[in-house]
Amino acid sequence: MQVMKNRNNKKKCVVLLSGGLDSSTLLYLVIKKKYLPTCLIFDYGQKHKKEIESAKKIAKSVKVKYFLVKTNFPWKGSALVDNKINIPENRLFNDKKIPSTYVPARNIIFLSYAVSLAEVIGAKYIFYGANQIDYSGYPDCRNNFIKKFQNIINVGTKSAVENKKIKLVAPLINFSKSEIVKLAHKLNVPLKYTWSCYKGTKKPCGVCDACKLRNEGFRNAKLKDFYD
């Protein structure tokens, strides 16, 4: 029994789960690969709670444990948390300017929570649904960021000092959105539970960055979204 327990410990992981298409597909992927995930869901003062409820539904759909972390950004600084800043609509993705929906250092903070959790539960992996192909241009969704943050884990944790390194993994980093859509269908991800829109309206707005990327992904994959 002890041998089996140790073997299972090697498959323990933490998954950052937002309730969107990418992170939900990621969760189903790690389960398919026989990992044992614990999910982190964040209530960080975003303008709506629909994505939080979506994340909970996704976690419950595969009966995995999750922690809901409540934090906030009282200094605001993003269209996602500041009611005085409008969500941009119909933005051109060839614009190199980082959009106002970027929440300063958000994923650095979220990943720091994930590292803390991984150390406590003895997880060897942190899975992060970042994507740098079809995305809004956020600097913390790029491969270079993943590599640099891995360096921080390697020098700043007790686990690393004791030669029990935690590996940060972003399996979807070089996937197009259509490839993620196809993978979601292959893994039978319950798309009806996912929420990508930056707005908390009854139905996705269709014009924010997240909606446009999702819609284009389904269109290029020649598949219908649940909301169509």
Q: Output the domain CATH number for residue 174.
A: 3.40.50.620
Answer yes or no: is 27 within a domain.
Answer: yes
Alpha-helical regions (H) of 10-76: 21-32, 50-61
Distance between CA atoms of residues 71 and 177, nearest Å = 29
Which band of pLDDT confidence, cut at 50, 70 and 90, is reported for residue 10?
A: confident
pLDDT per position as a tens digit, 39-79: 999 999 999 999 999 999 999 999 999 999 999 999 999 99
Answer yes or no: is 155 within a domain.
Answer: yes
Report pLDDT for 4. Answer: 37
69 secondary structure, DSSP code:
E
> What is the tally of structural domains in the chain?
1
Which band of pLDDT confidence, cut at 50, 70 and 90, is reported for residue 8?
A: low
| Cβ 34 vs Cβ 40: under 8 Å | no
Answer yes or no: is 161 within a domain.
Answer: yes
Percent of the chain with pLDDT over 90: 89
Q: Identify the residue with better confidence: 118 or 4.
A: 118
Res. 15: pLDDT tops 70: yes
Answer yes or no: is 227 within a domain.
Answer: no
Answer yes or no: is 57 within a domain.
Answer: yes
Answer yes or no: is 226 within a domain.
Answer: no
Which band of pLDDT confidence, cut at 50, 70 and 90, is reported for residue 5?
A: very low
Report the DSSP beta bridge partners of residue 36: 12
Domain that holds residue 19: 2-221
Answer yes or no: is 94 within a domain.
Answer: yes
pTM of the complete model: 0.94
Res. 3: pLDDT tops 60: no
188: nearest Cα among 84, 89, 62: 62
96, two tokens: 């190199």
